[in-house]
Chain A
Amino acid sequence: MTTSARRSKRTEALEQRPVNLDGFVEEWPEVGMVAMDSPYDPEPGVRVEDGVIVELDGKPRAEFDFLDQFIADHAIDVDATEQAMAIPAVDIAHLLIDPRATRRDVLAVTRGLTPAKLLEVVKTMNVVEMMMALQKMRARRTPANQAHATSARDNPVQVAADAAEASLRGFRELETTLGVVRYAPLVAIALQVGAQAGTPGVLTQCALEEATELELGMRGITAYAETISVYGTEPVFCDGDDTPWSKAFLASAYASRGIKMRFTSGTGSEVQMGNAEGKSMLYLEIRCILVTKGAGVQGLQNGSISCIGVPGAVPAGIRAVLAENLIASMVDLECASGNDQSFSHSDMRRVARLLPQLLPGTDFVCSGYSSTPNYDNMFAGSNVDAEDYDDWNVLQRDLQVDGGLRHVPEAELLAVRNRAARALQGVFAHLGLPPITGREIEAVTYAHGSKDLPPRDVLEDLKAAQSVLDRGVTGLDIVKGLDAAGFTDMAHSLLAVLRQRVSGDLLHTSAILTPELETLSAVNDTNDYAGPGTGYRPSGARWEEMKRLRHVVSAQNPEREVG
């Protein structure tokens, strides 16, 4: 295009639209820069001899890479596979959207499908059909949501207050991560303390290098783990010094202590790391999903996650992202379904990317809604942040869909933010960690983000963080600290969370704790969707709660507002 040509006023207006700041690239199937429709993906097929899969998607066993081998030997049900593979892909897609076929009917088929076949099935479906299928295939009947609570300054006081607010707003899982990883022990303690100040039973995790993440979990400083990444090609797996077996071993380390965990994967990671072996993003993601299944892990965080800018930049990328959530659910895994990373400059596009998970409902609609303003989000920003809370509540109310959140009056929010900070002050004092001042507590009660807070002595905090590790501080020490500081109810909640690892109930698929500290999972809250009038629909007290917003004109007295 010539630059000297006179430009249309309309073009000028369109050039100013935020969507034009997003990055878009052409497809390049040879290196895997293609969402789900590549000429280089294999044709589906399976051959079984003497109870062993000897050919998978056109590849003989002698040529298997370690993912093929792991999937063939551990993920695919060898007794079901030949029969399942004989069903045409489009018939399996029909089964997925037919409400008269139960979730169990579908699982009987999907347990025998190969990666290429699963890809072929979803390729016959448009996004509306995928949403219908996801509504039925989600493991837990009641949807839930997960938040990020992080700080650009790794300020533990801020993390505690935001965790408390997020917990009160309805999130059932909270995760944090760090700018400076050495801060982790203090911030993980803050997250766990803050989480119990909102509603009881909220589970927390800290995304770190895997050995440290495991150590914090084993010590009870975190309650679950999520940042165990798997990849769809051998070279990318090896870059992380890993194999499917090492990941399975790590998973069993968590299980041995009764700690909930899920794997993480997502479209785009292999092409992002330059080793997609010329396969489509979705095909490689399906291999990750089946590795997760084969490792015996209960769930998966997927939906591209930190690579969302890659599928987001190619045609049909967001359809592929929905497909990966659906396939995780189709193989009976808990799905924490993304929507957790900054995705677009365009508000319109942010919502469009969100609806395919929000409308049908998933186990966790966001695997990280930012409970802070995005400038504080140390996962590099989420698709939705603290400034979107009211919009989210309105979407739930407009459409009568349950995204797991509720409007909370300001006075209640201030109370729990303040309480969380005071409780953390007590725990820090009990553990001999650097003091939290009254000025900090006052500031964080009213703060929006880290810019509103006095700075902490970072070097003292980092020394103290190391001492937490050196002294072997555990979750029980935090319980004792809460109790000693007079926060007996929070001590009780946290102890209840820790006790879950003894009963092992959180190892069930899609397990969360209710505010009454009871386990809600796919076992005792099985998704029973069977068409109109069935399954989970917000009603009763929950629907009344969802009707409340910041500003609603009273019908009794239109000069006033309720809520």
Chain B
Amino acid sequence: MADTGVSTRRTLRLDERGTAGPGSRTDEVVIGLSPAFGDFFTKTIVDIPHAEVLRELLAGIEEQGVHARVIRFRGGSDLAVIAHAAAKLSGSGIAVGVLSRGTTMIHQKDLVRLSNLELFPQAPLMDLDAFRKVGRNAARYAKGESPEPVPARNDFMARPRWQAKAALLHIKETEFVVPGADPVELDVRFQLADAG
């Protein structure tokens, strides 16, 4: 199970800026968020705040000198669909897809949808460090590099403990799907919550 310790409390503000279009800069990674990420849902299956998830992904991308763009995909709750749609909008062809419960994927626009560059299927194992590394690797793919894949973590007991809860979370996320909806561009703002 992931270490969920987060020292500060940040809140996430996501403002919609209209339909997301294809990117023109080749040095960008698009992060595709699932329908209820940072909205109805506020944390992953192991209670990591979505604000921290997004912050780590963005930090991982930006530390490589790569530009990041965040979109929300309402058309489906299938991770491959979200990540591939985001990759097709990405100027570099590289995107990260992330579901509310924490399942994450790095995709590339020219791969078939059900393939991927890297997949992190076990949401309960995704901690802050893992999200940072995912962002970093996505940025390195965008720069045309061939990074070592983020080491796959594997807890074979995640399924008996979390799978049924994951199903309930997914059912809930799927309730927010708007079939055929265009992806929307998001403005991302983090705010430090008042400690009091």
Contact = CB atoms under 8 A, between A and B. Distances in A.
Are A and B physically bound partners? Answer: yes
Interface of A: 21-25, 28, 31, 33, 152, 179-181, 209-212, 239-241, 268, 271-275, 306-310, 312-314, 341-345, 374-375, 377-378, 380-382, 458-459, 462
A21 B174 contact: no
B47 interface: no
Given A181-B116, A275-B174, A458-B148, A381 B156 contact: yes
A22 B171 contact: no
Interface in B124-177: 146, 148-149, 152, 154, 156-168, 170-171, 173-175
B115 A273 contact: no
Contacts of B113: 241
A380 B168 contact: no
A312 B149 CA distance: 33
Q: How large is the interface on B (under 10, 10 to 19, 20 to 34, 35 or more residues)?
A: 35 or more
Contact of B159 (A180, A273, A308): A308
A342 B162 CA distance: 12
Interface stretch (B50-58, B62-70, B75-83, B182-190): B75-83
A277 to B, nearest CB: 12
Lowest 7 CB-CB distances: which A-B pairs, in order? A381-B156, A309-B163, A274-B174, A313-B164, A179-B152, A342-B156, A374-B156
Nearest to A210: B114
Nearest to A240: B114
A274 B77 contact: yes
A310 B164 contact: yes
A313 B168 CA distance: 12
A239 B78 contact: yes
Given A21-B157, A179-B152, A272 B78 contact: no
Contacts of B148: 458-459
Nearest to B147: A459
Nearest to B165: A23
Contact of A375 (B154, B161, B168, B171): B154
21 contacts: A24-B164, A25-B164, A33-B168, A179-B154, A180-B152, A181-B115, A210-B114, A239-B78, A271-B171, A272-B170, A273-B78, A274-B175, A312-B160, A313-B164, A342-B159, A343-B160, A344-B160, A375-B154, A378-B154, A380-B121, A380-B156
Contacts of B152: 152, 179-180, 378
Contact of A381 (B149, B159, B167, B171): B159
Given A209-B114, A312-B163, 8 more contacts: A21-B160, A180-B118, A209-B112, A273-B78, A273-B174, A274-B171, A309-B164, A380-B156
A302 B159 CA distance: 17
A30 to B, nearest CB: 10
Contacts of B146: 459, 462
Given A275-B174, A343-B160, A152 B115 contact: no
B160 A342 contact: yes
B171 A31 contact: yes
B159 A341 contact: yes
A429 to B, nearest CB: 25
A424 B10 CA distance: 52
Contacts of B81: 239
A342 B163 CA distance: 11
Contacts of A377: 154, 156
B92 interface: no
A152 B159 contact: no
Given A152-B154, A239-B78, A268 B115 contact: no
B45 to A, nearest CB: 11
A345 B156 contact: no
A544 B160 CA distance: 37
Contacts of A152: 152, 154
Nearest to A32: B171
Given A241-B113, A274-B171, A380 B78 contact: no
Contacts of A209: 112, 114-115
Contacts of A274: 77, 167, 170-171, 173-175
B122 interface: yes
Nearest to A312: B160
A239 B76 contact: yes
B122 A309 contact: no
A307 B163 contact: yes
